[in-house]
Amino acid sequence: MAVDETDVSQILDEAAVALPSSLLGRDAVRASYAGLRVLPLGEGATANARRETVFSVGPGGMLSVAGGKLTTYRKIALDALERVRGPLGLRRVDRRPFPLPGARGDAPPFAVEVDPEVEAHLRHLYGSRAAQVVEPARDDPALLERLHPGGPDIAAQANFAVTDEWATTIEDVVRRRTTVALRGLADTDVVDRVARIVDASPARSS
């Protein structure tokens, strides 16, 4: 599945309802992606399809989840956990709200000197865990270098993605753990550099 010009035009037209047309030229599109969303209870146009979540258990006992919305992912996860509570031997599922990683506590100071723009970027993305991201740079200053001169993402983020955020592929780092791809900066040099960082990460070699 790939994005075509009709898809691009539709998104730009919808964005024009809230944004000035001067910001919505075709050359302003830095990246695009396409995917399929499962709507198991929907019929006809996807805009009118129901978004309910469907849970099903296969012959081998595997629980599958279809449908739902990204904004309700926590509820979906808790409902799924409730359904496997017995086999896992859990007495109960704790449904109390918990803050996301980095959203709790004060933001500690960095142990190394960081460019102000980069520091603001890191604190915005990682919250109270920002200092943890740059901590390895005390031993390896190269981790403070930007992945691309046109953006604030640094090499330490690629390392952190592997050691603490379960990234396993270059795509994970470039598109899902940093803003490099979203800024249209994921060129060959950036991808090659991220690949070297991922391969050298202690989490990968352990």
Task: Read off the pLDDT band of 2 (50, 70, 90).
Answer: confident
* The predicted structure's pLDDT at residue 150: 95
Q: Is 56 helix (H, G, I), strand (E, B) or coil?
A: strand
With a cut of 60, say whether residue 205 has pLDDT above it. no
* The predicted structure's pLDDT at residue 107: 84
pLDDT tens digits, 153-202: 999 999 999 999 999 999 999 999 999 998 989 999 999 999 999 888 76
How far, in Å, CA of 147 to CA of 150, rounded? 9
* The predicted structure's pLDDT at residue 82: 93
* The predicted structure's pLDDT at residue 203: 64
With a cut of 80, say whether residue 49 has pLDDT above it. no
* The predicted structure's pLDDT at residue 133: 97
Q: Rounded mean pLDDT of 40-55?
A: 77
With a cut of 70, say whether residue 97 has pLDDT above it. yes
Q: Where are the domains of the chain?
A: 1-35, 37-98, 116-205
Q: Rounded mean pLDDT of 97-117?
A: 89
Residue carrying the six token digits 């396409």: 34
Q: Rounded mean pLDDT of 27-37?
A: 81
Comparing 97-106, 125-134, 158-167, the range with the smallest average pLDDT is 97-106
Contact 53, 77 (CB under 8 A): no
| Percent residues over pLDDT 70 in the chain | 97
Contact 115, 123 (CB under 8 A): no
With a cut of 60, say whether residue 206 has pLDDT above it. no
| Region label for 12, one of left (φ > 0), alpha (ψ between -120 and 50) or beta (otherwise) | alpha
How far, in Å, CA of 43 to CA of 50, rounded? 8
Domain 116-205 CATH class label: mainly alpha
Q: Which is more confident, 45 or 121?
A: 121
pLDDT tens digits, 74-95: 999 999 999 999 888 888 998 8
Measured in whole angstroms, the distance separating CA 148 from the mean position of its chain's CA atoms is 19
